[in-house]
Amino acid sequence: MSDIQASIIQKNPIFNPQGNDNIDKRTIIKGNTTGLFNLNSVKYPWAKSLYQVMVGNFWLPEKVSGLKDDQRDFMNVLTADEQRAYKGILSFLIFLDSIQTVNLPNFSDYITSPEVNLILSIQAYQEAIHSQSYATILESVVSPEDRDEIYYFWRTDSILLERNKYIGQIYQNFVDTPNDANFFRGVVANFLLESLYFYNGFAFFDTLVDHMKMPATGRMIAYIRRDELTHVTIFANIIKEIKREFPDVFNENVIIEMTKVAVDQEIVWSKHILGNKIPGINAETTEGYTRWLANQRLSMLGMAPIFPDAISNPYKHLDRLQDPNADKGNFFETTVINYTQSSNMAGSWDF
């Protein structure tokens, strides 16, 4: 038997009468569960905590006001370079959330913990909401002629196409050949997508807001970012559980290699789409921010930094805009907290 055949992992059966749902038998992957969602018996308490946060974060893009004002900003206030960046970054974000919505169930099929399956289902729903939020932005802000250009920007932009193909191929490799190595690379790709690939785009929209431009788009991005932080945490925990329970599947070298590729791609793409003509963002800050953020994400996995010189976030305005302990009147704090509609549900999964 070949190594690939030996390492093939099996999808969870829909119903497995011979399964064992006892906590002491439960594992993050390769378990033998019945298929029943017994959520009164939980092995991974972090999944319960994330469930409560994710349900409490419920929001709808149609409830975000002010996009018509952003339309005026887009036409009359943004420079040509800012307009190009706005459209190109939206195109990449649309791709990321599209591929996540479609692909998350493929990974959930191999997770053998019902509490983790549950939050992956919520994540997939949130990714679909994000796709709808981008559609809402496009419908409200840009002309109909620009919409298809934004959705299919990768058809004419070779750098964006290569980015999309890279992450898409990792996912496709796992779907086509579901072995241990491809599964782990796919999980790491999920982690990096959620934790690195979005964030220079987010920084661009935050910087526009800091310059009093496109505030409604900034509000939408704030809600999306809040969701993405929970998604980062999901996959960080999955990776740590794999390391603990299946050290033969865990591969730190793969994480380092893929992180370096992700950082290089993010820097090249960000420089390409942002140029050096966006106030508040330049090539130096893009590189410093991306490498600093990569170190922060690796620390979530208990790993040492791979960019030792990147010790601080060069975008101080991001700290101010995103700091929940900052002035309660600041843009992101008030809009995000005031929007939450389902805080009364946060403790509904209570064992």
- Which residues are designated catalytic? 134
Contact (CB, 8 A) for 191 and 230: no
Structure tokens at 66: 């002010």
Cα 60 to the center of its chain, rounded Å: 18
At residue 57, φ and ψ (nearest 5 deg) are: -90, 10
How far is the C-alpha of 181 from the C-alpha of 170, rounded, in Å?
11
| SS3 assignment, position 111 | strand
CA dihedral 258, 127, 234, 259 (to 10 degrees): 10
How far is the C-alpha of 245 from the C-alpha of 229, rounded, in Å?
24
- Surface-to-core class of residue 18, CB atoms within 10 Å of its CB (0-12 exposed, 13-18 middle, 19+ buried): exposed
At position 265, the amino acid (one-letter code) is Q
How far is the C-alpha of 186 from the C-alpha of 193, rounded, in Å?
10
How far is the C-alpha of 51 from the C-alpha of 35, rounded, in Å?
19
**Tokens 């508040």, located at residue:** 280
How far is the C-alpha of 22 from the C-alpha of 227, rounded, in Å?
31
| SS3 assignment, position 29 | strand
How far is the C-alpha of 78 from the C-alpha of 83, rounded, in Å?
6
